[in-house]
Amino acid sequence: MVFIDDIFADEVLDSRGNPTVRATVILSDKTEASAIVPSGASTGKKEALELRDKDERYMGKGVLKACENVAKIADVLIGTDPFNQAEIDALIKDLDGTDNYSNLGANAALSVSMAVARASSKSLDIPLYKYLGGSNALTLPTPMFNIINGGSHANNSVDFQEYMIMPLNFDDFENALRACAEIYHNLKNILHTRGHSTSLGDEGGFAPNLKSNEEPIEIIIEAIKKSGYEPGVDITIALDVASSEFYDEKKGYRLAGENRTLSSFELVQYYEKLCSKYPIVSIEDGLSEDDWDGWKILTERLGGKVQLVGDDLFVTNKNILKQGIEQKIANAILIKPNQIGTVSETMQTVRLAQRNNYKCVMSHRSGESEDAFIADFAVALNTGQIKTGAMARGERTAKYNRLLEIERRIIFGEYLGKHLFK
Ligand code: PGA
Ligand code: ZN
C-alpha cells in the first residue's frame, strides 16, 4: 500500500514578489509533487487566515511560521493513505481546530492539501483533473479574461477592479483564447495611440488612467470590434467591481475616480444603466460584503438578467453561501480555494452551489504563481467558468496553457460558451 512518506515546505515568491508557501509531498512509491498557494490583495473579511510572520523579514510578510506548521501537518499525515483526499483534509482541519485556520494558516493547510492531491494523481498516472473529478470531468471552463485592471490591483484612477471579456460564441477553448488574445493586442494599440499608459496591473490587464468607470468598457468594445468580433454575440463583458474596497457603512460607495459617492440603490441603478447600454453578462461583488440589504435589491433588480457573483460576499464558505441561498442573494459564487483552506472544503462549497443552481467561477488570486492547480480543478468540478487574469504574464498564462493541454487530451470535452447563460 502506498502511503505518505514525507512532507516539507519552502518559502517561495508569488507574482507580486511576496513570500508564499510551497509544500512538497513524497509518497512511499517515490512520487514527489509540490503545490504553491496564491495570495489576494482585496481580500474578504471572512476569508480563512493567511498566516504571515509579521516580523522584520519581507516587510512582515514572511511565511516561515506557515512553513513550520506544514511540518506539524506532516507529523499527522505521514504514514496515511494519500488517495483519501477527504480524510487527509479532515485530519488537517482537526489539527488546526478552528473555523478559519487561524492556528495553522490556510496557506499551510492548502499547500499540503493540493500537494497531496497532485502527488496522488501522479502516483496513479492520472491527470489531476481526472483524479479530482473522475470520468465526468469534461467541461472546459469559459474564461473571464481580465484586460483592464483598476481598484487595488492597479495604480490608476479606475475604481472598478476588473474589466473582463468572456468569449461565448466559440466551440472550443482554443479559439476562445485566440480571439481574446487578439482583442488584448488591439486594446493595447488603441490605448497606446490615445496616449494612455499600457503598463500592466497585478493580473496582467492594462492599467490606464481613464476619466470614468464606464470608459474602459467603451474602449474594450472598440477593441472587440477592431478584432473582427461582435460585442454581445461573440464576446461579452464581465465586471469585478470589488466594491467592498470602496464602501463605507456610513457614507456609501465612494467612486474616487469620478469624485462622487453613491448609496447602494444608486449604485444598483448605475449597474442597470451600464447593463442596458453594454453587453454585460456578469457582475462580481457589485455591492459590499457588509451590505446584504443592498445585495437583496441588486439581486431582485438584476438577478434575472445578469450573473451576480459573490466573492468577498461568500468567501468560498459553504455556511455563508447557505445564508445567501436562503436570502436569495446573488446567483453565482467565486471559488478561491485559499479562502476556505482545503481541496475538499472547496469541493463542498461547489456542490452546495451547484445543487442550488448557483453558477461557479473558479478563480486565481491577484498574487499568483506558476502553479496551475485551478485549471485542473475547474475542469474536475465542471465549474463552467474560470477567472485567471489576462492572457499575459506567466502566472496567468500557466493556467490558460494548462487548459489548452487538457482540451487536447479530453475526448468528449465541452466548451459551454454560448450555452453558459441559457
Ligand atoms: P484578490 O482579487 O485576489 O486580490 O482578492 C481577486 C478578486 O477580487 O476576484
Ligand atoms: Zn473579486
> Alpha-carbon dihedral of residues 349, 354, 355, 358, nearest 10 degrees?
100
Q: Which atom of ligand 1 is nearest to the CA of 365?
A: 3
Mutate to test the pocket of ligand 1, among 18, 146, 161 (most ligand atoms within 8 A of CB): 161
Asked whether residue 257 falls in the same domain as residue 209, the answer is yes
Tell me which of 99, 125, 151 is where a domain ends.
125
Regarding whether 236 and 317 lie in a shared domain, the answer is yes
Grid coordinates belonging to 167: 468569449
User: Per the structure, how many domains does the chain have?
Assistant: 2
* Secondary-structure breakdown of the chain: helix, strand, coil percentages, each rounded to the nearest 5: 40, 20, 40
Q: Identify residue 210 by its one-letter amino acid code.
A: L
Nearest-angstrom CA–CA distance, 343 and 337: 7
Q: Looking at the annotation, which residues are catalytic? A: 203, 336
Between strands 307-310 and 280-284, the pairing is: parallel
Q: Which of residues 107, 125, 143 is at a domain's end?
A: 125
Domain CATH code at residue 70: 3.30.390.10
The three three-digit cell numbers of residue 7, written as one number: 512532507
Say whether both 103 and 28 belong to one domain. yes
Say what the pLDDT of residue 252 is. 98
In a shared domain, residues 273 and 355: yes
283 CA distance to ligand 1 middle (Å): 14
For ligand 1, what atom is nearest to the CA of residue 44? 5
Ligand 2 midpoint to CA 217 (Å): 18
103 and 149 fall within a common domain? no
Could you list the pLDDT tens digit for every one of the 422 residues in the chain? 999 999 999 999 999 999 999 999 999 999 999 999 999 999 999 999 999 999 999 999 999 999 999 999 999 999 999 999 999 999 999 999 999 999 999 999 999 999 999 999 999 999 999 999 999 999 999 999 999 999 989 888 899 999 999 999 999 999 999 999 999 999 999 999 999 999 999 999 999 999 999 999 999 999 999 999 999 999 999 999 999 999 999 999 999 999 999 999 999 999 999 999 999 999 999 999 999 999 999 999 999 999 999 999 999 999 999 999 999 999 999 999 999 999 999 999 999 999 999 999 999 999 999 999 999 999 999 999 999 999 999 999 999 999 999 999 998 899 999 999 98
227 and 298 assigned to the same domain: yes
How far is it, in rounded angstroms, from Cα 134 to Cα 281?
30
| CA distances from residue 104 to 51, 69, 90, 97, 314 in whole angstroms, order as listed | 7, 6, 14, 9, 22
- CATH number, domain containing residue 225: 3.20.20.120
Ligand 1 midpoint to CA 328 (Å): 23
Cα-only R_g, the chain: 21
Q: Find the 364 Cα to ligand 2 centroid distance in Å.
A: 10
Given ligand 1 and candidates 363, 368, 387, which is best to mutate, with the most ligand atoms within 8 Å of its CB? 363
One domain, residues 146 and 86: no
Ligand 1 atom with the smallest distance to the CA of 202 is 4
Q: Contact, 201 vs 207, CB < 8 A?
A: yes
61 and 188 both lie in a single domain: no
Rounded-to-integer distance, Cα 370 and Cα 249, Å: 38
- Closest ligand 1 atom to residue 366 Cα is 3
What pLDDT does 422 receive?
83
Looking at 83, 104, 125, the residue that finishes a domain is 125
| Pocket perturbation via mutation, ligand 1, pick of 336, 340, 364, 399 by most ligand atoms within 8 A of CB | 336
Quote the crossing angle between the two packed helices 106-124 and 343-355, to the nearest 10°.
90
Ligand 1 pocket: which residues have CB below 6 Å? 40-43, 161, 240, 242, 311, 334, 363, 365-366
Chain position carrying cell 499568483: 368
Give yes or no: residues 174 and 229 share one domain: yes
Q: How far is the CA of 160 from the centre of ligand 2 (A)?
A: 10
Do residues 322 and 365 both lie within one domain?
A: yes
Q: Which helix (H) or strand (E) holds 254?
A: strand 252-255
Nearest-angstrom CA–CA distance, 194 and 115? 46
**Is 335 within 8 Å of 346 (Cβ atoms)?**
yes
The b/e string for 16-30 (b: 16+ C-beta within 10 A; e otherwise) is bebbbbbbbbbbeee
Task: Note whether 310 and 352 are same-domain residues.
Answer: yes
210 and 319 part of one domain? yes
Residue 199 belongs to domain spanning: 134-419
Q: Name residues whose C-beta falls within 8 Å of residue 402's C-beta, 6 or more positions apart in sequence.
A: 372, 375, 376
pLDDT of residue 392: 95
